[in-house]
A and B are shown apart, each in its own frame.
Chain A
Amino acid sequence: MKAIYVMWLRQLIRFWRTKSRIIASLAQPILFLVALGFGLGPIYAKSGGGSYIQFLAPGIIGMSILFTAMFAGMEVIWDRQFGFLKETLVSPSSRFSIFLGRTLGGATVALIQGIVLFIITLIIGFRPTSIALLPLALVFMFLLAFIFTALGTALAIKVEDMQAFPLIMNFIIMPVFFLSGALYPLATASGVIKTIALFDPLSYQIDAIRSILTGAAHFGLMVDFTVSLVCAAIVTMLGIYFFNRVEV
């Protein structure tokens, strides 16, 4: 248990010491928010959808968590190249706790990122219908962060090549993001997209965050919660499987 704690703590310390990265990683979601929000907003309103920023903000919060979470795997690649991974893998602490500690650490960082972005959306003009439900939204933001940090970490231990890793990440992140309903309502999307979105884990957390903050649900909270938990369990098992077998 102590190993989980120190691996978590390490991620947070490292995050805190490289604060400049927080600013850099916020740039992209803010760009999306401003360009799409204010660019497409009027058209969205004309078609009777209401305020696009209202709709878009939860999606962009999800996006920033997704990106940060997946790239937490990059830390595994660095640790492998700089040797620290060996130090953890050779220790008597179980691989399970090493993996879980890393994932919880990365997920916490991604969650913090998401909260910062949430505050920025408030400044830009996002108005959640209920602040009282914010803790519930945080639960889903954390689930989102956990699922994709675990996935990124699991893949990073498998993919040794540090040049290939960002490419693979983008290969996964982009479709997961664009086909999730983060940017457009799934209800009015074409059938193909609707079907694909059903198999996209991100759809469910974004749907949950959106329905909690704005009241507009697509799948419903119970479905969102169940699917998210199942996804979290699957990626955790995958990560443990890879960590138990890795040879360095």
Chain B
Amino acid sequence: MSNQIIIVNNVVKKFKKFTAVDKVSFTVDKGEMFAFLGPNGAGKTTTIRMLTTLLHPTSGRLVINGFNPLKEQQEVRSSFGIVFQDFSLDNELTALENLRFHAALYSVPKKLAEERIEYLLKLVDLWDRRNDFIKTYSGGMKRRLEIARGLVHHPKILFLDEPTLGLDPQTRNNMWDYIKKLNKDEGMTVFFTTHYMHEAEKYADRIAIIDHGKLLTIGTADQLRKKTKTESLEDAFLKLTGHGIRDESGKSIDALRTAAKSWGNR
């Protein structure tokens, strides 16, 4: 029991009448690389938001690192690092400032924070650009910085919500190698979502597939292939979730970013 760092038990999340997550139950072991797959709008991000205290479940039980996200928010929040699906950096600040602010928000002692920040920035190849404003960064650089930021406070669990979206293969590989290394060396649990099946196949110890808010299956890549009698994880995924194309609810953020640009603001 104590080996389970994430426990999700019969969790439901409703937005008005729409059920985004429907009686989902699973557990993630300490030190596991866990992939959470599903088509757009399946309920992946909603689940992550509940696990990270940003949303309250309508019903069901959650345990993160032994704590209850509803009652022990402080403890839960100290337990994990997260890379959100959308960027979440402050564009008006430099990379260094973003990381320092993060360290302060997580109460990392200053000297230790400086050491880790230097180490992490070098690791994601941004040390030379540390004093540049984020608004001058490309998408890939922002992603790398966010991953570095998520690690500054040495979390027990790292949540990655489609972290490799829009990254080139070089950056993707680098990033995964590093995350895998942290997972092995530090025993850090990694919970990630992705649309790239080979990433899940290669890096995840176990894979869960969710669709329409319901958990369809859970197991190793091999088990999923055998279960569905398919050749690859991609085929297994398609067999389970069907071939229909999903609409994700239109995001106002995209419209907004365009508007912001034309306003010359940020």
Residues of A within 8 A of B (CB): 2-3, 5-6, 10, 13-14, 17-18, 78-79, 81-84, 86-94, 162, 247-248
Shortest Cβ distance from residue B78 to the other chain A in the assembled complex, whole angstroms = 4
Interface centre among A3, A90, A248 (most CB of B within 10 A): A90
Asked if A10 meets B101 with Cβ closer than 8 Å, knowing A87-B88, A91-B106, the reply is yes
Q: How far is the CA of A78 from the CA of B90 in the complex (A)?
A: 10
Q: Is the CB of B74 within 8 A of A86?
A: no
| 22 pairs, A vs B, C-beta closer than 8 Å | A6-B100, A13-B92, A13-B97, A18-B92, A78-B266, A81-B260, A82-B90, A83-B86, A83-B87, A83-B88, A84-B89, A86-B54, A86-B84, A87-B84, A87-B89, A88-B105, A90-B53, A91-B77, A92-B74, A92-B105, A93-B105, A247-B54
Asked if A91 meets B105 with Cβ closer than 8 Å, knowing A82-B91, A83-B86, A247-B56, the reply is yes
Q: Is the CB of A10 within 8 A of B93?
A: yes
Shortest Cβ distance from residue A28 to the other chain B in the assembled complex, whole angstroms = 19
Q: Is the CB of B54 within 8 A of A81?
A: no
Q: B216 near A: Cβ within 8 Å?
A: no
Q: B112 near A: Cβ within 8 Å?
A: no
Q: Is the CB of B93 within 8 A of A3?
A: no
Query: How many residues from B make CB contacts under 8 Å with A?
Result: 34
Q: Which residues of B contact A82 (CB under 8 A)?
A: 87-88, 90-91, 266
Q: Is the CB of A6 within 8 A of B105?
A: yes
Q: Which residue of B lies closest to A93 (CB)?
A: B105
Q: Which residue of B lies closest to A2 (CB)?
A: B104
Chain B 217-266 residues near chain A, CB threshold 8 A: 252-253, 256, 260, 265-266
Chain B 69-122 residues near chain A, CB threshold 8 A: 74-75, 77-78, 82, 84, 86-93, 97, 100-102, 104-107
Interface centre among B74, B77, B100, B101 (most CB of A within 10 A): B101
Q: Which residue of B lies closest to A162 (CB)?
A: B256
Q: How far is the CA of A78 from the CA of B266 in the complex (A)?
A: 10
